[in-house]
C-alpha cells in the first residue's frame, strides 16, 4: 500500500464527508479558509490535565530544546506541543476539546506506565492507549448485538441490514485523530479500532455537545473500572469507509462485497 500523504493545504473541501460532521457543527471547522491559528485553538477549550493544570496548545518549535517526552510535557506543564499547519495535530487538538477527561486520563496512564517500565519498554497497556488515541472510534449503542456482530465481522448485518439504525441507535464518534487525518483523503483499507459504549435510549435526544460529555464520562469509567484499554483485546476493527454517510460509495450495498476490505473473521485454531 502506498504511504499515506495528507493534503498540504487547508481547504474546506477536504472536510465534506459525514465523518467531519461533528467538527463542522461544533467548531465550524469547514468555514475556515486557512489553517486555524493557536489563538483560535486555545479559545475553544477550558481544559485541565490530570494535574489540574490548564491545557494550552503551543507551537512545536518552542519545545526544540525540551528533553522531556511528549506525554511528560503535557502531564507536568499542561502545554501541548502542536505542529503548525498540520492535520494530525489540528485534529489532535480537536479531540482534546471533545474528550478532555479521557485525554487527560490517557496522558496520566502513559506517565504511570513510563514510571513503572521506563520509556524504552512499552507495556501492553501503553500500546493499547496509543492505538486508541490514534485510531479509536467509539460506538454509542443501545443494542448489545451490534458489538457481537462487529466482533464477528458480520459487516452485512452491521452496515447493510442495520443501515437505517446508524444515527438512531448506533452513534459513531471518532476518537483517534489519525482517523480524521486519513479521512481527508480516504482510501480503501482505512480501518479504525472500535470500542462500544452502552447508552440509554434517551442518548439520541441529546445535543451533539451533550453526547460528547456523556461519552467522555463513560469512557473514563470503562477505562478505569473495566480495564477496556488494559490491552488491545477489547477493541475490534471497523472499516471506516463502511460507516453510513462517511463515504459516498457505501450507498451502494455492493460496496460491502469487497472482502479484501470487509474481511471475513479469522477462525482461531483454539475454536476447533
| Residue 46 pLDDT | 81
What pLDDT shows up at residue 235?
96
Give the domain ranges of the chain.
Answer: 18-259
Tell me which DSSP letter residue 266 carries. P
pLDDT value at 62 more than 70: yes
pLDDT tens-digit series, residues 158-179: 999 999 999 999 999 999 999 9
Compute the distance between CA of residue 263 and CA of residue 247 in angstroms, rounded to an integer: 18
The pLDDT of residue 254 is 97
What is residue 42's predicted lDDT score, i.e. its pLDDT? 95
Q: Phi, psi at residue 166, to the nearest 5°?
A: -70, 125
Question: 42: part of which helix (H) or strand (E)?
Answer: helix 38-44
Average model confidence (pLDDT) for the chain? 94
Determine the average pLDDT of the residues in 201-225.
97
Say what the pLDDT of residue 268 is: 62
Q: What is the pLDDT of residues 7-30, one digit of tens each?
A: 999 999 999 999 999 999 999 999
Is 242 in contact with 166 (CB distance < 8 Å)? no
DSSP of 136-175, one letter per residue? EEEEEES-THHHHHHHTT-HIIIIIITGGGBTTTEEEEE-
| Residue 2 confidence class, pLDDT cut points 50, 70, 90 | low
222, three cell numbers: 470503562
What is the structure's pLDDT at 271? 46
Amino acid at each position: 500500500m502506498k504511504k499515506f500523504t495528507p493534503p498540504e493545504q487547508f481547504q474546506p473541501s477536504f472536510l465534506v464527508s459525514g465523518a467531519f460532521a461533528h467538527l463542522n457543527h461544533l467548531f465550524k471547522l469547514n468555514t475556515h479558509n486557512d489553517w486555524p491559528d493557536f489563538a483560535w485553538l486555545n479559545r475553544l477549550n477550558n481544559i485541565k490535565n490530570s494535574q489540574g493544570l490548564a491545557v494550552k496548545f503551543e507551537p512545536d518549535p518552542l519545545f526544540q530544546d525540551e528533553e522531556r517526552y511528549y506525554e511528560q510535557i503535557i502531564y507536568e506543564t499542561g502545554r501541548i506541543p502542536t505542529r503548525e499547519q498540520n492535520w494530525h495535530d489540528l485534529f489532535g487538538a480537536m479531540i482534546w476539546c471533545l474528550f478532555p477527561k479521557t485525554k487527560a486520563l490517557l496522558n496520566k496512564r502513559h506517565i504511570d506506565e513510563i514510571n513503572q517500565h521506563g520509556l524504552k519498554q512499552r507495556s501492553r497497556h501503553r500500546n493499547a492507549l496509543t492505538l486508541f488515541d490514534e485510531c479509536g472510534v467509539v460506538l454509542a449503542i443501545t443494542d448489545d448485538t451490534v458489538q457481537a456482530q462487529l466482533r464477528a465481522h458480520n459487516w452485512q448485518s452491521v452496515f447493510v441490514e442495520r443501515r437505517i439504525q446508524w444515527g438512531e441507535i448506533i452513534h459513531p464518534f471518532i476518537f483517534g485523530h489519525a482517523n480524521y487525518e486519513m479521512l481527508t483523503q480516504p482510501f480503501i483499507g482505512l480501518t479504525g479500532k472500535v470500542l462500544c459504549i452502552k447508552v440509554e435510549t434517551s442518548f439520541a435526544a441529546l445535543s451533539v455537545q451533550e453526547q460528547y460529555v456523556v461519552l467522555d464520562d463513560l469512557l473514563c469509567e470503562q477505562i478505569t473500572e473495566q480495564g477496556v484499554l488494559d490491552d488491545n483485546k477489547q477493541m475490534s476493527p471497523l472499516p471506516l469507509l463502511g460507516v453510513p454517510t462517511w463515504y459516498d460509495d457505501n450507498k451502494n450495498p455492493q460496496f460491502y462485497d469487497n472482502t479484501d476490505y470487509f474481511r471475513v473473521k479469522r477462525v482461531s485454531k483454539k475454536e476447533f
